[in-house]
């Protein structure tokens, strides 16, 4: 338990109140500078491994001016390349209009301008009239430029910095804390994207704290609210709940509804969550919750209701070939309910499902971003649905997420107000906001949170 002991120290970091200047959210100069100082320096989550299961399968990933091709070059290898032809700079693979990214399968990439051709290792295999260059196109000058790529958690990660450190080091301690959840075994139930009228940080920060829940999502108060915390974790941060004594398992995402009869309130909370958020639970959990009133006597103590609900759902899932990760309650209490992976990715983990958010700039406009959310769960072998990134309008999202979306443009506008004095995040519940800006400032050289 030495490792976990180390993480317990983290809550003391950033415990003092801070003020976060508005610059990082609203300044056009800051937004432009992010390209070189931030996006071209960090590891970025660029897709899922199941997006490219077979050799020749590829996807693209776009971040400001950069586009990257990620391709499975063999059954066991993945490569990434700058999506630009070394001849005269045509983008090699176009993203079809209205699509989030390009996606397909081919054994070679042929530039549509003059026909230069590249294999899955990025090596040039064809140049028309090559002799005209008099032998000078050697030493890789005619090959695609390589981008660092690695995998963790079932995701493809890229880094545009040729001198970057290893992904495993970058993700520490998040990867170590999330490994027991087997996130690589989960497949999408749905994935949607949308363009918001706010900075990407405003969008991400709508989900990195639980302080907003009682006001933005008042319906959830009926089911009882545990006190939420946020911890700094080096480059990253995490959030979670303090569970009542004897209900330590409930410190994760699978928790009881509070109230007179936990059999009924758990069912109510599960039904509400399934219908209005379509996240953070699964059909099996909802179905078992709805049977609690028939299968358990009135007056069953909350800890027993919780244990029965979870073990029954777990058993029924196992019978259909869906095997939940085994994570002990002490680990759950430390891992919490979600991790903010610096700078723009959030993983809301559980033993049988996860909810992930990410946001990217929309060009250099500080007032716009591309926002994406995906819900994943475990499926019986071969039964995961084929999902695509679906472009959406706000009304096409579950109602609970629309409540979050409602704040975003209004925050962006408010931050530009002459009278705005900078953000004052809750030092206990919203420490992830302070963490993000403390770490951003290390890359950007400006915008560090100020202590009082």
Residue 320 binds what, of ligand FES, Fe ion, none (CB under 5 to 8 Å, by partner type)?
Answer: none
Identify which of residues 88 and 227 has a Cβ nearer to ligand FES in the complex.
88
Residue 90 binds what, of Fe ion, ligand FES, none (CB under 5 to 8 Å, by partner type)?
Answer: ligand FES
Residue pointed to by tokens 């993983």: 347
Residue 85 binds what, of Fe ion, ligand FES, none (CB under 5 to 8 Å, by partner type)?
Answer: ligand FES
- DSSP letters, 108-134, are EEE-TTT--EEETTS-EEE-TTGGGGT
Identify which of residues 113 and 391 has a Cβ nearer to ligand FES in the complex.
113
Q: Is 209 in the site for Fe ion (CB under 5 A)?
A: no
Site for Fe ion in 389-408 (CB under 5 A): 404
- Of 81, 91, 61, nearest in space to 140 by CA: 81
Identify which of residues 404 and 430 has a Cβ nearer to Fe ion in the complex.
404
Identify which of residues 119 and 268 has a Cβ nearer to ligand FES in the complex.
119
- Of 392, 376, 281, nearest in space to 49 by CA: 376
Nearest-5° Cα angle at 210, 209 to 212:
95
- Nearest-approach distance from CB 16 to ligand FES, in angstroms: 54
46 contacts: CB under 8 Å, gap ≥ 6: 59, 61, 68, 70, 80, 155, 156, 157, 158
- Nearest-approach distance from CB 151 to Fe ion, in angstroms: 30
Q: Is 250 in the site for Fe ion (CB under 5 A)?
A: no
Q: Is 143 in the site for Fe ion (CB under 5 A)?
A: no
Residue 87 binds what, of ligand FES, Fe ion, none (CB under 5 to 8 Å, by partner type)?
Answer: ligand FES
How many residues line the site for Fe ion (CB under 5 A)? 1
Residue 114 binds what, of Fe ion, ligand FES, none (CB under 5 to 8 Å, by partner type)?
Answer: ligand FES
Identify which of residues 124 and 412 has a Cβ nearer to ligand FES in the complex.
124
Identify which of residues 38 and 354 has a Cβ nearer to Fe ion in the complex.
354
- Nearest-approach distance from CB 56 to ligand FES, in angstroms: 20
Residue 88 binds what, of Fe ion, ligand FES, none (CB under 5 to 8 Å, by partner type)?
Answer: ligand FES
Residue 113 binds what, of ligand FES, Fe ion, none (CB under 5 to 8 Å, by partner type)?
Answer: ligand FES
User: How far is the C-alpha of 183 from the C-alpha of 186, rounded, in Å?
Assistant: 6
| In 247-301, alpha helices (H) | 262-276, 283-295
* Interface residue list for ligand FES (CB under 6 A): 85, 87-88, 90, 111, 113-116
- Of 69, 76, 74, 79, nearest in space to 55 by CA: 74
With 0-12 CB in 10 A as exposed, 13-18 as middle and 19+ as buried, what is 27?
Answer: middle
- Of 287, 288, 290, nearest in space to 268 by CA: 290
Residues that bind Fe ion (CB under 5 A): 404
């Amino acid at each position: 338990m030495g490792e976990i002991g180390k993480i317990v120290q983290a809550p003391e970091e950033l415990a003092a109140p801070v003020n976060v200047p508005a610059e990082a959210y609203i300044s056009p100069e800051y937004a432009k500078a992010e390209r070189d100082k931030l996006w071209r320096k960090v590891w970025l989550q660029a897709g899922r491994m199941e997006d490219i299961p077979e050799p020749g399968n590829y996807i693209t990933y776009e971040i400001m001016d950069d586009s990257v091709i990620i391709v499975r070059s063999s059954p066991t290898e993945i490569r990434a390349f700058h999506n630009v032809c070394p001849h005269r700079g045509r983008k090699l693979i176009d993203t079809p209009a209205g699509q989030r990214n390009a996606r397909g399968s081919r054994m070679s990439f042929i530039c549509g301008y003059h026909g230069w051709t590249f294999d899955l290792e990025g090596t040039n295999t064809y140049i028309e009239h090559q002799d005209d260059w008099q032998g000078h196109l050697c030493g890789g000058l005619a090959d695609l430029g390589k981008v660092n790529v690695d995998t963790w958690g079932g995701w493809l990660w890229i880094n545009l910095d040729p001198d970057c450190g290893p992904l495993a080091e970058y993700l520490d301690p998040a990867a170590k804390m999330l490994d027991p959840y087997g996130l690589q075994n989960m497949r999408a139930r749905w994935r949607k994207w949308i363009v918001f009228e706010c900075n990407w940080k405003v969008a991400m920060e709508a989900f990195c704290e639980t302080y907003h829940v009682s006001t933005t999502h008042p319906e959830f108060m009926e089911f009882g609210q545990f006190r939420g915390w946020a911890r700094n974790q080096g480059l990253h941060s995490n959030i979670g709940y303090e569970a009542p004594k004897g209900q330590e398992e409930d410190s994760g995402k699978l928790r009881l509804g509070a109230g007179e009869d936990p059999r009924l309130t758990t069912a109510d909370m599960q039904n509400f969550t399934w219908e209005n958020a379509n996240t953070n639970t699964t059909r099996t959990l909802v179905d078992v919750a709805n049977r609690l009133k028939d299968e358990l006597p009135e007056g069953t103590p909350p800890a027993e209701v919780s244990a029965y609900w979870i073990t029954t759902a777990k058993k029924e899932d196992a019978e259909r070939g869906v095997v939940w990760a085994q994570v002990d309650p002490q680990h759950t209490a430390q891992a919490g309910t979600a991790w903010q992976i610096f700078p723009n990715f959030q993983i809301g983990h559980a033993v049988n499902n996860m909810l992930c958010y990410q946001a990217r700039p929309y060009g250099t406009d500080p007032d716009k971003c591309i926002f994406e959310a995906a819900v994943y769960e475990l499926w019986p072998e071969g039964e995961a649905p084929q999902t695509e990134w679906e472009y959406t309008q706000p009304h096409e999202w579950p109602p609970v997420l629309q409540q979050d979306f409602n704040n975003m443009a209004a925050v962006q506008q408010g931050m530009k107000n002459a009278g705005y004095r900078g953000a004052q995040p809750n030092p206990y519940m919203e420490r992830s906001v302070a963490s993000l800006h403390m770490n951003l400032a290390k890359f950007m050289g400006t915008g560090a949170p100020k202590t009082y």
